């Protein structure tokens, strides 16, 4: 299949309607019928604002988080439309990919 590899970047402490943004993305993808999503927790990084984010003892709630998905064109369009509907602003990357399984079984 042809599609996109989309990665969303956020922080553990960031919420949308009382739910962590990363969890919201995973749940929206599931609701839209996406086959899978992977949530990664990072140990440190910095965002567009230049602020340092880490999972150290003093800053646990601000750890960087990524949500990665392999999406068809239709799935990508539907997920991005949900972001537009809600007004939720999240940085992402999107790359064209080929994806599938190595075997039929």
Q: What is the pLDDT of residue 19?
A: 96
- Region 86-105: mean pLDDT is 95
Q: What is the pTM of this model?
A: 0.83
pLDDT over 80 at 57, yes or no: no
CA distance readout (Å), 89 to 58, 81, 82, 105 = 26, 12, 11, 39
Residue 101 CA, distance from chain mean position = 22
DSSP letter assigned to residue 79: H
- Region 22-34: mean pLDDT is 97
Give the other-Cβ count within 10 Å of 30's Cβ.
Answer: 12
Q: What is the pLDDT of residue 64?
A: 86
Q: What is the pLDDT of residue 12?
A: 86
Q: What share of the chain has pLDDT > 70, as a percent?
A: 81
- Region 72-96: mean pLDDT is 97
Distance between CA 70 and CA 14 in Å, rounded?
23
Helices 73-86, 21-31: crossing angle, 10 deg rounding = 130
Secondary element (H or E) of residue 44: strand 44-46
Look up residue 81 and give its two tokens.
């439309």
CATH number for the domain whose boundaries are 2-98: 3.30.70.120
Secondary element (H or E) of residue 74: helix 73-86
pLDDT over 70 at 52, yes or no: no
């Amino acid at each position: 299949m042809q599609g996109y590899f989309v990665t969303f970047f956020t922080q553990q402490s960031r919420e949308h309607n009382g739910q962590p943004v990363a969890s919201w993305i995973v749940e929206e993808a599931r609701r839209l019928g996406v086959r899978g999503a992977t949530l990664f927790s990072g140990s440190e990084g910095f965002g567009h604002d230049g602020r340092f984010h880490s999972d150290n003892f003093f800053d646990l709630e601000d750890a960087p988080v990524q949500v990665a998905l392999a999406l068809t064109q239709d799935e990508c369009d539907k997920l991005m439309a949900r972001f537009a509907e809600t007004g939720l602003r999240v940085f992402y990357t999107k790359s064209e990919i080929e994806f599938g399984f190595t075997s039929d079984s």
